Amino acid sequence: MGFVFTDAGGYVDDAVDGLAQGHVFVSSEVDGAAALTSSLQQQISDASIGVAVFSDNAALEASGPEIVSQLAERTGYDTIIVAVGGDLSAGSRVIEPAGEAMRMANQAEGSATSVGQALTETIQSVVAASDQPSPAAGSDGGPLIGVVLVVVALVAVVGVTWGVVRGRRSRADGAGRGLPDEMRAHVAALRALSGEYDAVGARGNGIAAQTGAEIAVIAANVTELFARLGRRNDEQSGIAATEYDDKLRKLTAALDRDYLLDILTHPNLWDDPGGRIDEVRGAVTAVSEELVENIKQVNARRGLQFQVSLDGLIGGRKELRDWERQFDDASGDGPAN
């Protein structure tokens, strides 16, 4: 295959057309499009990888996660990598464990000094992983395996694909635009935890694998919610930040390596491990569903409604209250109520 870069009309449509002609599509809005296209094509060679690179303007049409999902449906590549401005998203149907392609993109974006370098490192990691035998690789031509796999049911319910996680680096000109500082810290913590759960899931723990993917969805949707509030200059952004600061603080405490992750790894060392697991997973589901509803409310220009309280779901555990007090003391906010 060759390569193409064209003027952006409908960004996703242009990318589909471009990827039909070659492995790499780079919008002409991106500086150095021709050189970047050639460089990425050399890295891909004949691997079944499709790469689409856009300016920040593409976010006005669709988010990076949405673009990955659409390109996965409309092209034949095993792995899709997308950059929107400085924000990387990825998914793959052949790389195991679930979420591994996104982890590669996260790691590359966090260490690279440019989008081109981050894309190159991600491609190299995907190529190396694709060379390893995988029991699921290409077995049924199914949908992308990543966090997308776990949120297929959510997509069917809400009609929106939020499941592919954006890159973790937050910059003024990239994914962190419009994200309040307190949310930035929570998103970073959730993405780190998602990777830890993925690692445990890779050793055969199905609950950990599913939870890791669900955490990644929450991190992506927090970013998406505040990005949409920011684009509309919505005065509800401050209210949402206060509400989710409390929710995500409690949720992170429950998901932390000293609580749920340890319970999943060493259930024999905890009393009522099943009940504790159910509590935390119920909280994860509740927060995830509320985020999607809030995004819908922003899209419809309606007032945000917050109906989920984690106090009744996981707030009764003394060890979690102690963790929250320690967190508040360390951050200078004083003891939690």
Q: Where are the alpha helices (DSSP H) in 26-146?
A: 33-44, 64-74, 100-111, 115-130
CA gyration radius for the chain?
A: 20
What pLDDT score was predicted for residue 161? 29
193 and 126: one domain? no
Higher pLDDT among residues 156 and 111, named by residue: 111
What pLDDT score was predicted for residue 314? 61
End-to-end distance of the chain based on CA atoms, in angstroms? 61
121 and 199: one domain? no
Domain membership of residue 20 as a residue range: 2-145
pLDDT at 165 over 50: no
According to the per-residue pLDDT averaged within each range, which of 54-63, 114-123, 324-333 is highest?
Answer: 114-123
239 and 120: one domain? no
68 and 202: one domain? no
What pLDDT score was predicted for residue 40? 93
Picking from 127, 145, 163, the residue at the C-terminal end of a domain is 145
108 and 226: one domain? no
Q: Is the distance from CB of 290 to CB of 308 less than 8 angstroms?
A: yes
Packing angle, helices 100-111 and 181-201, rounded to 10: 130
How confident is the model over 31-52, as pLDDT tens digits? 888 889 999 998 998 899 999 9
82 and 218: one domain? no
- Calculate the CA 258 to chain-centre distance: 23
Q: Which two tokens stand for residue 297?
A: 């409310």
- Nearest one of 226, 264, 227, 250 to 319, comparing CA atoms: 250
pTM of the model as a whole: 0.50
Whether residue 150 lies inside any domain: the answer is no
Whether residue 288 lies inside any domain: the answer is yes
pLDDT at 240 over 70: yes
227 and 301: one domain? yes
Whether residue 111 lies inside any domain: the answer is yes
What pLDDT score was predicted for residue 195? 86
Whether residue 155 lies inside any domain: the answer is no
pLDDT at 129 over 80: yes
**Close Cβ partners of 334 (under 8 Å, ≥ 6 residues apart):** 328
Q: Which two tokens stand for residue 14?
A: 């242009």
**Close Cβ partners of 225 (under 8 Å, ≥ 6 residues apart):** 240, 291, 294, 295, 298
Whether residue 325 lies inside any domain: the answer is yes
What is the Cα–Cα distance from 83 to 145, expressed in whole angstroms? 19
**Close Cβ partners of 32 (under 8 Å, ≥ 6 residues apart):** 116
191 and 318: one domain? yes
According to the per-residue pLDDT averaged within each range, which of 69-73, 153-157, 264-268, 330-334 is highest?
Answer: 264-268
Whether residue 169 lies inside any domain: the answer is no
Q: Is the distance from CB of 151 to CB of 121 less than 8 angstroms?
A: no
Q: Where are the alpha helices (DSSP H) in 100-203?
A: 100-111, 115-130, 147-150, 152-158, 181-201
Whether residue 151 lies inside any domain: the answer is no
Number of domains the chain is built from: 2
pLDDT at 79 over 90: yes
Q: Is the distance from CB of 122 to CB of 90 less than 8 angstroms?
A: yes
What pLDDT score was predicted for residue 337? 42
20 and 84: one domain? yes
Comparing 65-79, 250-264, 317-331, which segment has the lowest mean pLDDT? 317-331
Residue with tokens 């590669």: 104
pLDDT at 308 over 90: no
Q: Which two tokens stand for residue 307?
A: 């109906």
- Strand duo 79-84 + 49-54: pairing: parallel
pLDDT at 6 over 50: no
Q: Which two tokens stand for residue 161?
A: 């694909």
Across all residues in the chain, what is the average pLDDT? 77
**Close Cβ partners of 262 (under 8 Å, ≥ 6 residues apart):** 269, 270
pLDDT at 320 over 70: no
What pLDDT score was predicted for residue 132? 57
Looking up residue 102, the CATH number of its domain turns out to be 3.10.310
78 and 204: one domain? no
Say what the alpha-carbon torsion angle 98, 99, 105, 110 is, to the nearest 10 degrees. -130
Query: 256-279 b/e with 16+ CB inside 10 Å = b?
Result: beebbbebbeeeeebeebeebbeb
Whether residue 154 lies inside any domain: the answer is no
Picking from 98, 127, 145, the residue at the C-terminal end of a domain is 145
At 293, the pLDDT band (50, 70, 90 cuts) reads: very high
- Nearest one of 225, 243, 251, 220 to 307, comparing CA atoms: 243
pLDDT at 17 over 60: yes
Task: Give the up-direction half-sphere exposure of residue 71: CA atoms within 13 A in the CB hemisphere.
Answer: 37
- Strand duo 87-92 + 49-54: pairing: unpaired
How confident is the model over 89-116, as pLDDT tens digits? 888 888 877 677 878 887 788 777 888 8
What pLDDT score was predicted for residue 144? 46
At 138, the pLDDT band (50, 70, 90 cuts) reads: very low
15 and 125: one domain? yes
